[in-house]
């Protein structure tokens, strides 16, 4: 794996996947430079820009202008904002608009938005004409450090989150750190949960750095760029080692099995719970469950909860507004989760801070007992 390199204010993380290798550029002003960056790396000269109603008024005009300056013709696809956009209905709309724009295989779909737009756009890019080029321009912290990297795309089903999709790697990721200044405090905190996750997976020194420097990350500047670059490098390393999640890439799901169940339990209502908040609660639950299984010290779970609570994230099921369904319903969602293999429950558990591992065949009786206890 190549090291992170510097070029003026821009940091570059390289993802070496052979013919599908790509760069992640991280730094200020990248939307204004998007056309030039794309044109120097990719052959196509047409693009369909997929975004949502919240992001479009802020950044679509600047991105389209940048593409035009580089000689790239573009069509605009503006979808509703929110998790419920990850549906067959909106996927069909995106695919139809991409085809109407006459985007060919060497042209590109550009995702301008957060994780919802990135996941849906990547799925569309992966199936239109059996695969066209794909560029990610993530506009949330969560999407910059997680969903824009690694090629996992998809939409939700009534059976659960992200159950329908394809692996389709981007050809370029442009993470403009200036756009993060427009995020609400809640959105930024939700993205930070994914940053903390990388430390908790296998980088205890990074987690300790975050405990000491999180305020600077929230403020912006070099600490923010450093945290994003370190997160992208951590994910890139895992993706290169296990691109299609046959083994260790599953570690990236730390906190997600519990978190996805909680999202489903709230019907993906963002007024109650957004993805990063579900991951925050899920990571605490994963560490507590590990302690319950005598795999880790309860002190580690308390340390994780203390840090996430300090930055303003929810850490308990009781922090979610409104009533939750019974533990048995949450268990059903976990059992439907895509991380179940041959009917066996699979969790990402831990032996301590930065010592996560894939635990196969976790007894269902232990899981349901734990959920009942935490639901009370």
110 contacts: CB under 8 Å, gap ≥ 6: 34, 38, 47, 48, 49, 50, 63, 67, 74, 121, 134, 135, 136, 137
119 known ligand binder: yes
CA distance 115 to 137: 10
152 known ligand binder: yes
Nearest to 5 by CA among 227, 179, 209, 233: 233
**Structure tokens belonging to residue 73:** 């013709």
Which stretches does DSSP call E strand in the chain? 5-7, 10-15, 22-27, 46-52, 73-79, 108-113, 133-138, 155-157, 160-164, 172-176, 347-350, 356-359
115 known ligand binder: yes
**Structure tokens belonging to residue 159:** 């059976």
For residue 312, give the 3-state DSSP assignment: coil
Nearest to 49 by CA among 35, 37, 36: 35
205 known ligand binder: no
Cα 129 to chain centroid distance, Å, stands at: 26
194 known ligand binder: yes
**Structure tokens belonging to residue 49:** 């820009």
240 known ligand binder: no
CA distance 286 to 358: 12
323 contacts: CB under 8 Å, gap ≥ 6: none
117 known ligand binder: yes
375 known ligand binder: no
256 known ligand binder: yes
The catalytic site residues sit at 130, 152, 194, 235, 245, 249, 253, 256, 260, 275
Nearest to 72 by CA among 49, 97, 96: 49
**Structure tokens belonging to residue 199:** 């430390």
275 known ligand binder: yes
CA distance 133 to 24: 15
Work out the angle at residue 129's Cα, subtended by the Cα atoms of residues 126 and 132, and round it to the nearest 5 degrees.
50
**Residues in the annotated binding site for NAD(+):** 115-119, 139-140, 152, 161
**Residues in the annotated binding site for Zn(2+):** 194, 256, 275
């Amino acid at each position: 794996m190549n090291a992170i390199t510097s070029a003026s204010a821009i940091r570059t993380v390289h993802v070496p996947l052979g013919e599908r290798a790509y760069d992640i550029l991280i730094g200020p002003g990248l939307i204004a430079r998007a056309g030039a960056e794309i044109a120097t790396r990719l052959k196509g000269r047409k693009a369909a820009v997929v975004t949502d109603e919240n992001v479009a008024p802020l950044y679509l005009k600047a991105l389209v202008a940048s593409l035009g300056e580089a000689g790239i013709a573009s069509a605009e696809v503006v979808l509703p904002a929110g998790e419920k956009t990850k549906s067959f209905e909106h996927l069909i709309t995106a695919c139809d608009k991409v085809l109407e724009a006459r985007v060919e295989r060497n042209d590109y779909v550009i995702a301008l938005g957060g994780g919802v737009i990135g996941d849906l756009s990547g799925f569309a890019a992966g199936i239109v004409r059996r695969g066209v080029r794909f560029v990610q321009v993530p506009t949330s912290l969560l999407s910059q450090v997680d969903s824009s990297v690694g090629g996992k795309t998809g939409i939700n089903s009534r059976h659960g989150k992200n159950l329908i999709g394809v692996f389709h790697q981007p050809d370029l990721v442009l993470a403009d750190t200036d756009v993060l200044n427009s995020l609400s405090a809640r959105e930024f905190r939700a993205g930070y949960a994914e940053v903390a996750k990388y430390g908790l997976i296998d980088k205890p020194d990074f987690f300790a750095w975050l405990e000491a420097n999180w305020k600077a990350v929230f403020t912006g500047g070099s600490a923010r760029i450093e945290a994003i670059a370190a997160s992208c490098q951590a994910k890139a390393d895992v993706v290169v080692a296990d691109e299609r999640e046959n083994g260790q890439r599953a570690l990236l799901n730390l906190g997600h099995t519990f978190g996805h169940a909680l999202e489903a339990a709230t019907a993906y209502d963002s007024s109650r719970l957004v993805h990063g908040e579900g991951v925050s609660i899920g990571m605490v639950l994963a560490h507590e469950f590990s302690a319950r299984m005598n795999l880790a010290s309860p002190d580690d779970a308390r340390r994780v909860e203390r840090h996430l609570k300090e930055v303003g994230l929810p850490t308990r099921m009781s922090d979610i507004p409104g009533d939750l369904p019974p533990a048995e319903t949450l268990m059903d969602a976990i059992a439907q989760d895509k991380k179940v293999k041959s009917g066996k429950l699979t969790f990402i558990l831990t032996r301590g801070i930065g010592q996560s591992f894939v635990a196969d065949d976790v007894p269902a009786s232990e899981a349901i007992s734990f959920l009942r206890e935490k639901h009370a």
